[in-house]
Amino acid sequence: MTTPVPTELDRIRFWQGQRLRGRDFRDQTAAEAQLRWWHNRALHNAFGVRFGFKVEPVAGDDSIVEIGCGLAYDCFGRELILQTGKKIELPAINPDGESKITLIARYKETTQFRSKRELSGVCATSPETPGFLWKRSSEVQLADGVPIARWTYDSQHVPVPDVTFSAPRARALARPRVGSGMTVPGHTAWEPWSERVLSLGRVMSDMQLGVQVTIDTSAAGFTETPRYFAWLEGSLWDRSNIQFFPAPFAHIDDNTATANQFRFRLWMPNLIAVIGNRVRLANQHVATEFLNFAQSKSLYVCWLGVQCAACPECLECNETRECRCETSENEWKED
């Protein structure tokens, strides 16, 4: 079982003129790898074979199988990359009478690779490659790795591929995507909100309705326009100004909402306030008064976006195409 050791990540910074050692680069690479693995399992829930890893028996030899190059992700989000084909032997027949065995691809720690001193040549390298393990099918656990094949023994104790086995596939994200954020308290970029209306005299004029702010949501990574929810945070009560009553009605402009931004509006109509024996018309200059009020009270906007999953008909996909790997160019190519 390959269980990652809990790691406390640090932000590594270097200064001008600092002498760097190999350990510094290894620490930075390890921290970036941990963040990538967390991203894979937390956001994409990646597990299974993305493409490749086709296992076939070698012609003329029933004791050896050949694994094609491919890419897979284990349950911890770690990448399992096999750049060249590999041949491994089938295990000996289990004396306990186990009829099914499973081939597992698992992450291989960097410390298990050969050191550069053992490699011949100055430019020789030891590329990372996954490890492979045969295990009883009844004892396979999720943390062991990614099962890529299963073999059965017939009555003559001859190993044959199990045609009913299907390796788990790493699919694209199909669940709803949720993103959230907030503006800077006291420094939200409010602007006046006005609309062109037709007055009783048949004259078009601008009517001031309230304030609005355009919120950037590109950091959430939405691919389609989500369902936005937004609300105002902070204290709205203020007794110092009797001519300004901040009692807004929140509104999201759906016509301008996209995958990268939306517009949040606050409608504050003119109010007739009766104070003692005096009648006052409040919120006549709501734009300038609210901007000063929002900055002094550190008002800000919190938002939540939910991108719904596609319909079940859209999630149907064909089988993943197998790949062909040309080791001379060291790159992936699809048939």
How much is the pLDDT for 125? 46
Q: Which of 144, 170, 196 is the last residue of a domain?
A: 170
For the chain, the domain total comes to: 2
Range from 170-174, 245-249, 314-318 carrying the lowest mean pLDDT: 314-318
Task: Decide which of 56 and 4 is more confident.
Answer: 56
Same domain, yes or no: 161 and 196 = no
Sign of the alpha-carbon torsion through 280, 286, 291, 294: positive
Question: pLDDT digits over 175-209, tens only?
Answer: 668 899 999 998 899 888 888 877 777 777 777 78
Does the pLDDT at position 229 exceed 90? yes
Q: How far apart are CA 103 and CA 91, in angstroms?
A: 10
Percent of the chain exceeding pLDDT 70 equals: 71
Domain housing 285: 177-307
**Both structure tokens of 197:** 């209306």
Does the pLDDT at position 122 exceed 50? no
β-sheet bridge partners, residue 106: 131
Same domain, yes or no: 137 and 235 = no
**Both structure tokens of 287:** 């734009």
In which band, very low, low, confident or very high, does the pLDDT at 174 lie, cut at 50, 70 and 90? low
Does the pLDDT at position 136 exceed 50? yes
Token pair 């510094």 in the structure block, residue = 24
How much is the pLDDT for 183? 93
Task: Decide which of 282 and 166 is more confident.
Answer: 166
Same domain, yes or no: 186 and 299 = yes
**Both structure tokens of 60:** 């003329």
Q: How many CB atoms lie within 10 A of CB 84?
A: 13
Does the pLDDT at position 36 exceed 90? no
Question: pLDDT digits over 301-320, tens only?
Answer: 999 999 876 654 444 444 44
Same domain, yes or no: 34 and 159 = yes
Same domain, yes or no: 116 and 242 = no
How many residues comprise the chain?
335
Same domain, yes or no: 157 and 29 = yes
Q: What is the mean pLDDT of the chain?
A: 77
Same domain, yes or no: 36 and 157 = yes
Same domain, yes or no: 250 and 235 = yes
Same domain, yes or no: 57 and 132 = yes
Query: Are 110 and 22 a contacting pair, CB within 8 Å?
Result: no
Whether 82 is covered by a domain: the verdict is yes
Query: Are 129 and 81 a contacting pair, CB within 8 Å?
Result: yes
b/e burial code for range 210-228 (CB count within 10 A of at least 16 → b): bbbbebebeebebeeebeb
Whether 203 is covered by a domain: the verdict is yes
Question: pLDDT digits over 37-67, tens only?
Answer: 888 887 777 889 988 899 988 887 778 889 9
Same domain, yes or no: 199 and 235 = yes
Q: How far apart are CA 265 and CA 233, in angstroms?
A: 14
CATH of residue 265's domain is 2.60.40.2080
SS3 169: strand
End-to-end distance of the chain based on CA atoms, in angstroms? 34
Query: Are 239 and 184 a contacting pair, CB within 8 Å?
Result: no
Q: What is the mean pLDDT of residues 237-243?
A: 59
Whether 322 is covered by a domain: the verdict is no
Does the pLDDT at position 108 exceed 80? yes
The DSSP annotation for 203-231 comes to -EEEEEEEEEEEEE-GGG--SS--EEEEE
Q: Which of 170, 192, 212 is the last residue of a domain?
A: 170
Same domain, yes or no: 66 and 121 = yes
How much is the pLDDT for 319? 45
